Structure 1
Amino acid sequence: MLILFAALFAVSYTLHSYLSAIELSFSLFYVYLFHAIAATIVYVSVELVAENLPTQAGNAYLVLMCFKLGLFLLIFREPVFENDALTMPERIALVIPLFVFLLTEAIAVGKLLNSK
C-alpha cells in the first residue's frame, strides 16, 4: 500500500502542478506530501488495529480521520486558513489532494476491513 500512496503522490502532484496555471499562495507539494504521509499512517494504523481488535478497526479509522483533519488544520493554518483572499483555483487546489487521497484511503481500508 505504501507503493500505491507513493505512486499516487508522484502522479497526482506532477499532473496537478503541470496543469495549474496560477501561482498559489501555499506549497502544493507540502499539501500533497501531507496527505500521502497521513493516508499511509492511517492505513497502517487501521491494519494494525484490524489484526489485534478486528471489531474496533472501523472506529479506529473514524478517529484517525478526525486526527488527520485536525493535524491538517494545525499545520496549514497560517498559509491557508488565515489568508482571507484565497482565490477559487487555490481553494480547488486544496480540495483536490484531499479527495484523491481520501478516496484511495477509503477504498483501501474498506477492502482491508472486508477481508478481516
Structure 2
Amino acid sequence: MIKRILLFLLALVLLFIVSYFLNSYLVIEENFSFSLLSVYLFHTIAALIVYAVVEFVADKMPNQAGYAYLASIFIKIGFFVLIFNTTVFANPNLTKPERISLVAPLFLFLITEAVVVSKLLNSK
C-alpha cells in the first residue's frame, strides 16, 4: 500500500513538473490574475490526498472505496472553489489562456486520479 502511494506521488511530481512548465512555456501571456503555480500545487496535493484516502478505504472496506473516491472528488472541487474564490471566480473577465490554464490541470489530474483509482479498485 505504501509503495503504491509513493509510486503515485512520484508520478504526480513528474506530471506536475512536465505539465506546469509546458503550460508556462506554451502560454504567451504571463500576467495571470492568479498564480499558476498555486493551481498546479493544489491539484497535485489534492490528487495525492484523494488517492491516499481511497487506498486506505480500499484496504479497510473494499466495497466502500468507490464511494470514498466520489466523495473525495466533490470535497476536492469544493476546496478548490473556496481557496481560489477571490482570485479566480471573483474575476469575470478571464482571458482564454487563463481559462485554459485553469481547466487543463483540473482535467489532467482528474484523469490521472481516475485511471490509478480504477486500477486499484479492479485489483481489489
Q: How high is the TM-score relative to the length of structure 1?
A: 0.98
Which stretches of structure 1, 4 residues or more, deviate above 3 A after TM superposition? Answer: none
Alpha-carbon distance, 1:24 to partner: 1.2
- Match in the other structure for 2:98: 90
Alignment partner of 1:48 is 2:56: yes
Q: Choose the corresponding residue for 2:74, options 39, 50, 66.
A: 66
**Paired letter, 1:13:** Y
User: Structure 1 vs Structure 2: percent identity of aligned residues?
Assistant: 59
Unaligned runs of 5+ in 2: 1-7
Alpha-carbon distance, 1:88 to partner: 1.5
Q: How high is the TM-score relative to the length of structure 2?
A: 0.92
Number of corresponding residues? 116
Alignment partner of 1:12 is 2:19: yes
Unaligned runs of 5+ in 1: none
Alpha-carbon distance, 1:62 to partner: 0.3
* Residue-by-residue CA offset, 1:19-62 (whole Å, 9 max, x unaligned): 11002111100000000000000001100000000000000000
| Equivalent position SS for 1:112 | helix
When the two chains are superposed, the root-mean-square deviation of aligned CA atoms in Å is 0.6
